[in-house]
Amino acid sequence: MIDRETFVELMSGVCAPVTVVTAMTPEGRPYGSTVSSFASLSVDPPLASFALDRSSGLLAHLQPGSRVGVNILGAHQQELASTFARPPRSPGGKFDGVAWTVRAGLPYLPESAGWTAGRVERHVDGGDHILLVVCIEEAEPTPAAPLIYARRVFGTHSRLAVAS
């Protein structure tokens, strides 16, 4: 078995999309967290997945059957990624000072590079994280450049130069 530091260093070299996953309580309180494990799982049916740390405050609001939103951040939204990665100062506090609206009953961050919403189908045990499988019900792609995280820095994707 490899040591923790080797595994963390290896995985830091894997480019990951940066998203803010959101939920809304029945009382209308928004919750959200930066997540870099969002991935497509299945086309038929449309399923996606992401993982949350077992200690995540968001996890309690995303039980099977819960509605969930995923804001795929754009290259211009690094500050939002940092804001939603920090512990909240109060319940729903990550949204203080952030431009957001409600879309499909979920917190939505305008100007994101993409948006999707769905319902949590199930949780899968993943060690210190829980993998959430989501049935996608709504999606809006945009041509905006996505925010990517690798080697502990933010970046974006670009096409390789074509050899002449």
- pLDDT tens string 100-138: 999 999 999 999 999 999 999 999 999 999 999 999 999
Q: How far apart are CA 83 and CA 101, in angstroms?
A: 17
| Residues 74, 143 contacting (CB under 8 angstroms) | no
- The mean pLDDT of 62-88, rounded to a whole number, is 96
DSSP 14: S
Listed residue (115, 123, 118, 122) closest to 144, CA to CA: 115
The model's pTM: 0.94
Q: Which two tokens stand for residue 29?
A: 């309180």
Listed residue (40, 35, 1, 43) closest to 16, CA to CA: 35
- pLDDT tens string 20-71: 999 999 999 999 999 999 999 999 999 999 999 999 999 999 999 999 999 9
The residue type of 90 is S
Q: Which residue is it, tokens 């928004």?
A: 30
Strands 67-72 and 114-126: antiparallel
